[in-house]
Amino acid sequence: MSSDDKTEHLYTLIHKITRKLRNPKFDSTDQKILPPITKVQWWILKTVWEQKQCTAGYLAKKIGVRPSTMSQMLDRLEKADFIVRFTDAVDARVRIIRLTDNGQNMFYHAESKFVEKLVGPFECLTPEEQQFLILLLEKLARNFPQQSNN
């Protein structure tokens, strides 16, 4: 297998895994325990949780979407009572985003469900293979060029 073939195969595998992780259905028998948010919404909640509070611009850069797209995503999260937006006390032009109590609860609930979805596939590997896979993925992630929006 040539280097290009290996790279294309790796890309295909990463794409397949990513699609499975993004699919909220993942397993049609499990619909009742899935959180009512998407993986992208979970990433937004996770980012706000880690930062304690942040701006829509920061989130757009971190997630890798246009500010207008982020604004629409935040509208949905605010309507669901997962986030609250308020004016910055120092600069009235800036809107700050913070998780509501409901948003914090949803983040934890969703995180546990998304992680549960990885358990089965991950456990098909031996503990040594799991550790080696993590090591290789960390190395691969470190060697991507830095994006200007991260």
Per CATH, which fold does 31-118 belong to? Answer: Arc Repressor Mutant, subunit A (1.10.10)
Convert the pLDDT of each residue in 34-86 to its tens digit: 567 777 888 899 999 999 999 999 999 998 899 999 999 999 999 999 999 99
pLDDT confidence band for 110 (50 / 70 / 90) = confident
45 token code pair = 């909640």
Distances (CA, A) of 71 to 58, 74, 85: 12, 5, 11
Mean pLDDT, the chain, whole residue set: 84
Q: Are 45 and 106 in contact (CB under 8 A)?
A: yes
Residue spans per domain, the chain: 31-118
The verdict on pTM exceeding 0.75 is no
Residue % of the chain over a pLDDT of 70: 87
